[in-house]
Amino acid sequence: MDALTTGPAPEHDDTGAAPSATVDETSTQVEAQALADAVEAIWPQRLDTGWQCVSTPAGACASPNDLPTGGWLAAQVPGTVASARRAAGLFDVMHPTPLAFDDHWYRVTLCGTGKRRLRMHGLATIAEVWVDGVRRLDSESMFVAHDLDIELNGTTLLALCFRSLTPALAAKRSRARWRPRLVSPPALRNVRTTLLGHMPGWCPSVHAVGPWRPIELLSDARHAIDSMDVTSSIAGDDGLVSLTLHFVRSHDIATCHASLGCGGTVSPLQWIDAYTLAGTVRVPSVQRWWPHTHGTPTLYPLTLHLNDSGPVCWPLGPIGFREIEVERGAHGDGFALRVNGVPVFCRGACWTSADLVTLTGTEAQLRHAFELARDAGMNMLRVSGTMVYESDKFYALADEYGLLVWQDFALANFDYPNDEAFSASIEREARQFLARTRRHVSLAVLCGGSEAEQQAAMFGLPRSMRAQPVFTQQLPAIVARERPDVPYVCNSPSLGVWPFSTNEGITHYYGVGAYQRPLDDARRSQVRFAAECLAFANVPDDATLHEALGTIHSHDPRWKAAVPRDPGAGWDFDDVRDHYLQTLYAVEPARLRYENPERYLDLSRAVVAELMADVFAEWRRAGSGCGGGLVWQLQDVRPGAGWGLIDATGRPKSALHGLARALQPIQALFTDEGLNGLDIHLINERDHTLEAQLELVCLRDGSVKVAAASRAVQLAPRSTQRISAAACLDQFFDLTHAYRFGPRAHDVTIATLRDAASGRIMSEAFHLPDRRVGALSDPGLTVAVERVDDGWQLVVEAKRFARFVHIIDSRYRAAHDWFHLVPNRPCIVPLLPSAPQGATVARASNSGCKADATSAAPAGEVRALNAASPTFYG
């Protein structure tokens, strides 16, 4: 039996308590609790506890009767064999034990009597389901859910067997036209499992095995819900919500009347049969959902009213309203999104996993990552085809935080089979995913897969042999039927003369990055939309290197083991970063690395922050034809200098701080136009006009003002404008040092955008005509520690321009870091508590670990790239 979409169970707070139902003000606490219990009872019961697991050689146990009596581990569900072993202290993510080629058994005892429905949302990967010793179900895909009707007789033993992948990999299927080097073994094209754990050089070999998605028993309560399907749409200025609700038990449709409430409007529902309710509510003058950069991600609570259940409003979760379309430009070769009719520059990163071991992560870990992405100015995350479909909580949080989601189907790189069995598996997988996420307005793009068409082209196949029916026929038909409100693209990258051409359609841009092109390549390549870009081996803070990696030396084997590399390449992404250290900062990386490793790491952190900010400034400038860019990747899957903007412990890296300087909805940016000087680009993505003051200043020796100007500017809603810096000055000034009439006259140009009424700084941009790192000096840094109501903050000030200021504190991390500091202007930096030893920052951030007046006083140091020595505080 195929599993249907299930509605959201009531949200729980950190104590595990469900929210109470809506009750009359005169209801007693007892009545309120009874109603809350009734609300809880309508949703499926999660079978999260009481599980055990054991591993056996492949084929050693044909049935649960053959299982050993010893060696069982306690196991959490949802979870994996790796997570059970990690909890028992038996698994090292840096040196993982191969799991995909043994058998693994899970068991739990179910109590009760009568007929019940078991729902399994995901079993990785080749699985059998046994009930009281009888094999009842087989599954060959980790991406599909299953329903199984069972009979409980007091105590019932439920056993799950996850079989070795070896027979599935050996099975004969159609011959592939190409074999990508990324994945090992290549026969994984035939198995519906994630590529995570099977990509040498990209991530540790942590294999996905086990019940990685929830397992549930449907409730047998009076109003127990079997499945719920909710969609939203917009008609003129109104919002429409359509609901189809299927109950476990039949109802007396003659006496049970139902209605659906949303936004203060309540509309009746109709019984389709004794089990099924359906209907639509129209919300007048609805507030639309926006990505947070462009407005408020407004969500409306949905409530179900049944007249035979007393004064209860059954909560059905939130819903939003938005419209999304693709703008392809006058010649049809572009790609950009319009949300609610407004062009949106999409920027963000590619998602990996909040926890490679569980493949899900906790809500705390998800919220932490979403908060960092939002605060950095990102408005889109991409879930690549090399990863997994994410949890319901992931998409709900994307709705809540106002982050668009670009979703690949879980298909990447391969020439996939085209037989009936494979097509049927994809049909079921795609339909279930789209039904499960149908209510989520954050879902913005659906993509057939990642780099499959690119692989074909790079292996020399002509255009006629690159297409795969799964991408060009099957998936677009499913999307048109199940999510017609979401644009579909066949592949990422796609649409160019070559699929990976940068000047048409969707590209994966690594010109600045892996291909070691100069910075001006970001303009020359005419990128239209980069669904991947800017991969660097981003160096974490020293705290992470010491605690999680055990070294700060970049030629230590422990360091190198965590540096990503492409299979078969004679270089890794440390080498890519070192190239830009040499070309931009004019240092010899190898020499600096062994003479001054601490300095090498600081420069390495600074250069990626600078590169990322400059590339996105180019793509966001007035006149750019680029519709968006997504950095590869948001978070590391293991400790070390990985691609992630956030390290494996949850700490943001310098690259994220650098991006935050270029991705805000109200933004000032510089672009170097050579002999034409500097252009200032002012961006206002908000829906209202901004009255502002633009200040321009050039400094010599970090403090001497050699040129300055100020002018009033008006930023229209949803606008970008270009102002020539030269036009702001009354006389010639070689802003870019392009004419070279004598020595360079200045070190830095600063553009400051202030709110005209309050004088508050809304954005600031910096340009250095010479990026080389010369002799170190003393910028005159001072640091004061201040206690505030909600914790601690630093007040940092400099007498001269300080380049890439960085704060190091064993107890805290800076809310913003790796920033430039204007002389004689105090900068307030809030401090956030670091995680306790052994815990991730993400876990700590959701466990009551908040800074307050009783927290230990900060003590650390402030560094700057141009400072000869740190400034200590505390």
Residue appearing with tokens 């009930």: 131
AA letter at 823? P
Judge contact between 684 and 781, C-beta under 8 A.
no
Q: How many helices (H) and strands (E) does the chain have?
A: 18, 41
Tokens, residue 374: 């939002």
Q: Express each pLDDT in 272-309 by its tens digit.
A: 999 999 999 999 999 999 999 999 999 999 999 988 75
Confidence of residue 11 (pLDDT cuts 50, 70, 90): very low
Query: What is the torsional sign of CA 96, 98, 100, 104?
Result: negative
- Which runs of E-coded beta strand occur in 738-788? 748-755, 761-767, 782-788
Instruction: For 396-417, give the DSSP string.
Output: HHHHHHT-EEEEE-S-BSS---
Tokens, residue 512: 């600045």
Instruction: Find the radius of gyration of the CA atoms of the chain.
Output: 28
All residues at 6 or more sequence positions from 586 whose CB lies less than 8 Å from its CB, including other chains: 772, 773
Confidence of residue 5 (pLDDT cuts 50, 70, 90): very low
Judge contact between 203 and 638, C-beta under 8 A.
yes
Closest CA to 104 of 131, 84, 88: 84
Q: Express each pLDDT in 415-456 by its tens digit.
A: 999 999 999 999 999 999 999 999 999 999 999 999 999 999
Q: Express each pLDDT in 326-342 by its tens digit.
A: 999 989 999 999 999 99
Relative orientation angle of helices 363-375 and 392-401, to the nearest 10 degrees: 30
Average pLDDT of the chain is: 92
CA angle 176, 182, 183 (to 5 degrees): 65
All residues at 6 or more sequence positions from 451 whose CB lies less than 8 Å from its CB, including other chains: 180, 385, 412, 413, 491, 492, 493, 508
Instruction: For 489-555, give the DSSP string.
Output: ES-BSBSSSSTT-SSSSBEEE-TTTTT---TTHHHHTT-S-EEEE--------HHHIIIIIS---TT
CA angle 777, 783, 784 (to 5 degrees): 165
| CB neighbourhood size of 816 (10 A) | 17
Helix (H) or strand (E) holding 87: helix 81-87
Parallel, antiparallel, or unpaired for β 871-873 and 628-631? Answer: unpaired
Q: Mean of the pLDDT values across residues 377-387?
A: 98
Q: Mean of the pLDDT values across residues 130-157?
A: 97
Confidence of residue 16 (pLDDT cuts 50, 70, 90): very low
Relative orientation angle of helices 597-620 and 573-585, to the nearest 10 degrees: 80
Spatial distance between the Cα atoms of 724 and 680, rounded to a whole number of angstroms: 6
Judge contact between 423 and 471, C-beta under 8 A.
no
Name all domains of the chain by residue range, CATH numbers in brackets.
Answer: 45-217 (2.60.120.260), 384-501 (3.20.20.80), 502-654 (3.20.20.80), 666-767 (2.60.40.10), 782-873 (2.60.40)
Tokens, residue 406: 């670009």
Judge contact between 596 and 650, C-beta under 8 A.
no
Judge contact between 63 and 48, C-beta under 8 A.
no
Relative orientation angle of helices 475-482 and 420-436, to the nearest 10 degrees: 30
Parallel, antiparallel, or unpaired for β 443-447 and 404-408? Answer: parallel
Helix (H) or strand (E) holding 620: helix 597-620
Spatial distance between the Cα atoms of 718 and 704, rounded to a whole number of angstroms: 36
- The pLDDT value given to residue 572: 93
* Residue 848 pLDDT > 70: no
- The pLDDT value given to residue 37: 60
Spatial distance between the Cα atoms of 818 and 776, rounded to a whole number of angstroms: 17
Helix (H) or strand (E) holding 708: strand 704-715
- The pLDDT value given to residue 25: 45
Judge contact between 243 and 270, C-beta under 8 A.
no
Spatial distance between the Cα atoms of 353 and 358, rounded to a whole number of angstroms: 9
Judge contact between 456 and 465, C-beta under 8 A.
yes
Q: Mean of the pLDDT values across residues 229-256?
A: 96
- The pLDDT value given to residue 836: 56
* Residue 847 pLDDT > 50: no
Phi-psi category of residue 640: left, alpha or beta, with phi > 0 → left and psi -120 to 50 → alpha = left
AA letter at 475? L
Q: Express each pLDDT in 651-696 by its tens digit.
A: 999 999 999 999 999 999 999 999 999 999 999 999 999 999 999 9
**pLDDT greater at residue 269 or residue 465:** 269
**pLDDT greater at residue 568 or residue 200:** 200
Tokens, residue 492: 């990422």
Judge contact between 80 and 87, C-beta under 8 A.
no
- 330-356 core/surface letters (b: 16 or more CB in 10 A; e: else): eeebbbbbebbebebbbbbbbbbbbbb
